[in-house]
Amino acid sequence: MTKPIIAVVGNGMVGHRFIEEMAGCSDFQLQVFAEEPRLAYDRVQLTRYFDNGNADDLALADPQDYQRQGVISHLSTRVLSIDTNKQALTCSDGQQYSYHTLVLATGSYPFVPPIPGREQPHIHPYRTIEDLQAIQHSATSSRVGVVIGGGLLGLEAANALNTLGLQTHVVEFAPRLMAVQLDDGGGTLLRQKIEQLGLTVHTDKATQSIDASPDGPCRYRLSFADGSSLDTDMVVFSAGIRPQDHLARQSQLQIGERGGIVINDQCQTSNANVYAIGECALWQQRIFGLVAPGYQMAKVAAATIRGRQSAFSGADMSTKLKLLGVDVASIGDAHGNSPGALSYWFSDHANGLYKKIVVDDSGTKLLGAVLVGDASDYGNWLQLCLNQMPLPQPPESLLLPLPEEGGAAGSGVEALPDSAQICACHDVSKADLIDAIEAGACDLASLKSCTKAGTGCGGCGQLVGQLLDNRLEQQGLTVDRSLCNHFPYSRAELFDILRVREIKTFDALLNQCGQGRGCEICRPAVASMLASLWNDYILDDAHVGLQDTNDRFLANMQKDGTYSVVPRVPGGEITADKLIVLGQVAKEYGLYTKITGGQRIDLFGARMEQLPAIWRRLVDAGFETGHAYGKAMRTVKSCVGSTWCRYGVQDSTAMAIRIEHRYRGIRSPHKIKLAVSGCARECAEAQSKDYGVIATDKGWNLYVGGNGGMRPRHADLFATDLDDATLLTYIDRIMMFYVRTAERLQRTSVWLESLDGGLDYLKQVVIDDSLGLNAELERQMQTLVDRYQCEWKTTLDDPKRLKQFQHFINSRQSDDGVVFTEERGQIRPATIDIKESV
């Protein structure tokens, strides 16, 4: 039986997304018609073409993928007309094609104003790869280039000309750049920063003609309405877009007064069998010129065609960009057009910063914002706007938060509004903590006691401590940064004492520079430092008494007193045989099985006395401990990279495995997670990790200081296009410098923010060797690498240590307090009522 045909006219980013949304649906035959000679590519990253002239780097699809999905593609084929009665397309190849359902994804075309002289050579639009090839060719015989249009695409085009080495001018009809997204203040600063890069900006300029200039210094002369002129060798038009709706007009589909194919909430046109998506579609009198709304339309259209309920309800047009190296962001009602809207702004032209917020007449809701020069607040402000969250009072405090000690303005605990929830377990806000401190809770123990913050899961403990220190220092009090009452030194100072004096046990350190017998703070902290320095077996007699429960039993204790077992799976790569062993172990011991976010398999519900037997099975199968229980290097997540993925430019899996094998087991002030992505699509989510690695066509980009958790933070770009050896050398140095200088239980993100000088200082230390430490940091890392051991295997080989894995000293019986119930076919800890009924 012949399948009904879905014809997709247009194979831009949105047309391709529709095909992706239909993947896996075998009920239809998809045929796509593309005017261009290649399948879909990334127009958002169009200027990347000038990096190496390789269009394949921008590709979103390839013929093999479409063929595997059963998609028939017609390249270099223009659809000339549509007969909606006969449901047929007439195309430039002389053929007619029937369809059952039609999807118009024709996008838009660049608007070229009717300026006399626009048809001459070396005058180009800026829209396709062919346009870029023509621009590149003209640039070889040009010295000066002009872009007409100072919007987003115009500035992208200007960046292209600047990259090609031309003296570049931007001509904009409006009084400022990016008039749709920015206000006067933001546009003024953006202009200033662009002109500092050597480009010249002309605003309030209406181009009247483009005339040949045979006697002048350049090919052409642009004449403006105000009587001025500008000489140039080439012109690029980027003066806006218009919906590509001519096919729909010919087919008598409903068109908006100013263009655009009218659609309903299901993206259907006036003919219910014809859909329109992307920049050609007009929804409630609006054309959406960003790709994200087009993707939403593609999803809705695909769902509707497949008989599912779905509706397009508009899209937020907020955007964050980097234009010619300048951060620019616009949120919501950036111009304050809402009734009663109030605006606040901060301008620092000396440092190249502009921030503006638009709030409602009550000052409690964020309606819009503009950011130029620093868009780090974009994520938080966008959430405030989209979710209509209450603003801190007064609202202008968003613009000028006080800096955290050692950090940049707007970062750290001081940047959080008073309403920010610090402790989710007990719903404690920043204001609650401040009130408690003002009432006399001037140490961490008393602050936790009276607010309960940090006494739940413990994830907020460090932030609570930072807030306490910050508040006390604001009151003019001296903050004691000693590790605890037993050592009058900070963690970093103690680490240096251990290193310089080569102290290798807690008792020796206590005798030389401490007092008492230690506590639950200093004992595990010193244990971690000793492991970071000497990498001895942590269950040796000298160390075992220092470890917390997880490290002592080399497993993560769960809420019911059982343990989870997490073997290392480097880079997420695992053989079928090892996968089978994990299943066999889970089945034999009745364990709950969970695939973690770090590409590992976690086995929950193991009793203490079962741990050695489980480890034996895993070690014999070639597994080793994943150190999920330690403040150590945990995982290195990866995608499949260039080995399998059509977008991959480097072998990310091989690099992830290499990194994981190098840093496995290394103890640090807090857990460390890494990831390696094989291309800029970022499937491994590297920028949310402590150390993130993203492949480029020239090597690797290294990011530092990211993390998820209660206060997520994107990592900062540290270095670009590194070869393999340099990448590992930089990670060696950064990781050891972090281990040396961070505070107890301090994540790399907070550590980076606390460095005096931040990222630039870290670059000076690691790249420029400003402290003369690099050789020593590398030696320390290599010592740890050379001394690696699987702690499970070492324990299995030590009968003395195996004796500790039983619940009772005088009996081998299990703990009868451990009770499970079943849920979704697996065990889980029983609730109290179930336990009482057993």
> How crowded is the C-beta side of 532, counted as CA atoms within 13 Å?
34
**Segment (H or E) for 274:** strand 274-276
What spatial distance separates the first Cα and last Cα of the chain, rounded to whole Å?
Answer: 59
Torsion angle of C-alpha atoms 407, 410, 411, 414, degrees rounded to 10: 90
Phi-psi region of 410 (alpha: psi -120 to 50; beta: other; left: phi over 0): left
Q: From CA 115, how far away is CA 235, in angstroms rounded? A: 12
Q: From CA 838, how far away is CA 819, in angstroms rounded? A: 9
Q: Is 433 helix (H, G, I), strand (E, B) or coil?
A: helix
Measured from the Cβ of residue 400, the count of other Cβ atoms closer than 10 Å reads 12
Q: Are 181 and 152 in contact (CB under 8 A)?
A: yes
Among 723, 697, 720, 699, CA closest to 56? 697
Q: Is 487 helix (H, G, I), strand (E, B) or coil?
A: strand
The Cα-based distances of 823 to 45, 131, 559, 600 in angstroms read: 47, 59, 17, 22
Q: Which amino acid is at 39?
A: L
The binding site for [4Fe-4S] cluster comprises 639, 645, 679, 683
Q: From CA 28, how far away is CA 301, in angstroms rounded? A: 14
The binding site for siroheme comprises 683
Say which residues have a Cβ less than 8 Å from residue 486's Cβ, sequence separation at least 6: 510, 514, 515, 516, 517, 518, 519, 522
The binding site comprises 639, 645, 679, 683
Q: Which amino acid is at 525?
A: A
Q: Give the position of tokens 């309030």.
A: 204
ω into 394 cis (within 30 of 0): yes
Q: From CA 235, how far away is CA 251, in angstroms rounded? A: 35
The Cα-based distances of 776 to 314, 379, 567, 732 in angstroms read: 57, 39, 32, 11
